[in-house]
Amino acid sequence: MSTQTLTIGKALNLGLRKAMEDDAKVVLMGEDIGKLGGVFRITDGLQKDFGEDRVVDTPLAEAAIVGTAVGLAMRGYRPVCEIQFDGFVFPAYNQIVTQVAKIHARSKGKVAMPIVIRIPMGGGIGAVEHHSESPEAYFAHTAGLKVVAVSNPVDAYWGIQQAIAHPDPIVFLEPKRRYWEKAEVDTAAEPEPLFRSRIVRGGDDVTVLAYGPMVKTALQAADAAAEEGRSLEVIDLRTVSPLDLDPVFESVRRTGRCVVVHEAPTTLGLGSEIAARVTESCFHSLEAPVLRVGGYDTPYPPSKLEEEYLPDLDRVLDAVDRSMEF
């Protein structure tokens, strides 16, 4: 039987396992990923089966986790770095944006950087500060990096394998509050390509774009809207750099309306870029300006306020209403 019901967490675990079986050059590195299996248990059991050289419990040093991955990649390895939480990627930020991202271009293509940097991202788990951030825009703004944000177990299972096999460096964002969401995964199926967006629910009135943890929220909003007789088309971007917007343009030309949803602060977030591109390509079809629903431009708040901070289905529906009012 090749179809199993998996959580996102388990799908990632199995995907990592498969990637390690397929390619002996794949090396996992990170804090607490060995015996503990990572703080989210994504690497559970892998050290036991692949040994301490391939699943490396590293010292507590993010710059070193990514910086040594650069050297390993130069030797033909495929390092998969785990950053424990989104807010802890910043000690490694220098390595990621000044080195990992640029070496291929600087070496005129002589040196590839097939590095995957896995980051559990986003809020909603009641954590203290620095455990709930959405840093995707920092990386998407850096040429040379690709940024993937999965939303479901199928993409988690295939996406992690595709990211590892891919020749470019990939920041791989995992929606931490959705780690426990389940779906059927057919491990024998032909996977969809990694850098493509996907329509996850068809509709006619408004095109709603989301990625990572917000896809579920967008789908919930679509359910609620349907009860009021409104039909939302929901697109999961799946990859935020490069953006695959052709299906989005097609959709918006049909619906005439577009709402982009993400958790990260709204100003200069991914939504701003998407709004600009949709406007450029679909100006004559738009019935309303492209609207953004995002986090506020404040530090991620203490957890008692995260429900207020994070876009929920009401805020998505509110934006849908505003769009329809134009």
Partner 1 sequence: MSALSQTTEVVDPVPGAGAPHLPQQPELIQLLTPEGERVEHADYAVDLTDEELRGLYRDLVLVRRWDVEATALQRQGELGIWASLLGQEAAQIGAGRALADDDMAFPTYREHGVAWTRGVDPLEVISLFRGVDNGGWDPVSTKFNLYTIVIGAQCLHATGYAMGVQRDGAESAVLAFLGDGASSEGEVNEAMIWAASFGAPVVFFCQNNQYAISVPLERQSRVPLYQRAAGFGFPGVRVDGNDVLAVLAVTRAALQAAREGQGPTFIEAFTYRMGAHTTSDDPTRYRLAGELEEWKLRDPIARLKAHLSRSGIADPAFFDAVEAEADELAAHIRSGTVNMPDPVPAEMFDHVYAEQTPHLAAQRDEFVAYHASFSDTAAGEGH
Is 43 a residue that touches ligand TPP (CB under 6 A)? no
Q: Look up residue 108 and give its two tokens.
A: 């005129």
Beta bridge partners of 55: 28
Q: Is the dihedral of CA 222, 185, 239, 282 positive or negative?
A: negative
Under rule CB under 6 A, how many of the chain's residues touch ligand TPP?
6
Interface stretch with partner 1, choices 18-26, 101-109, 187-195, 298-306 (CB under 8 A): 298-306
The amino acid present at 262, given as its one-letter code, is H
- Catalytic site residue 130? no
Determine the Cα–Cα distance for residues 57 and 107; give it in Å rounded to an integer. 31
Catalytic annotation, pick one of 131, 141, 166, 262 = 131
Determine the Cα–Cα distance for residues 279 and 185; give it in Å rounded to an integer. 36
Is 249 a residue that touches partner 1 (CB under 8 A)? no
Closest CA to 95 of 72, 121, 62: 62
Interface stretch with ligand TPP, choices 83-91, 120-128, 231-239, 247-255 (CB under 6 A): 83-91
Closest CA to 125 of 195, 177, 188: 177
CB 283 to partner 1: min, Å: 26
Closer residue to ligand TPP, CB minimum distance, 31 or 155: 31
Straight-line distance from the first to the last Cα atom of the chain, in angstroms, rounded to the nearest whole number: 51
Q: Which of 3, 22, 35, 196 binds partner 1 (CB under 8 A)?
A: 35
Q: Which of 13, 43, 58, 84 binds ligand TPP (CB under 6 A)?
A: 84
Phi-psi category of residue 73: left, alpha or beta, with phi > 0 → left and psi -120 to 50 → alpha: alpha
Is 91 a residue that touches ligand TPP (CB under 6 A)? yes
Query: Which residues here bind partner 1, judged by CB under 8 A?
Result: 31-32, 34-37, 39, 52-53, 56-64, 87-88, 90-91, 126-131, 267, 296-299, 301-306, 308-309, 314-315, 318
Task: Please identify every residue annotated as catalytic.
Answer: 131
Query: Which residues here bind ligand TPP, judged by CB under 6 A?
Result: 31, 60, 62, 84, 88, 91
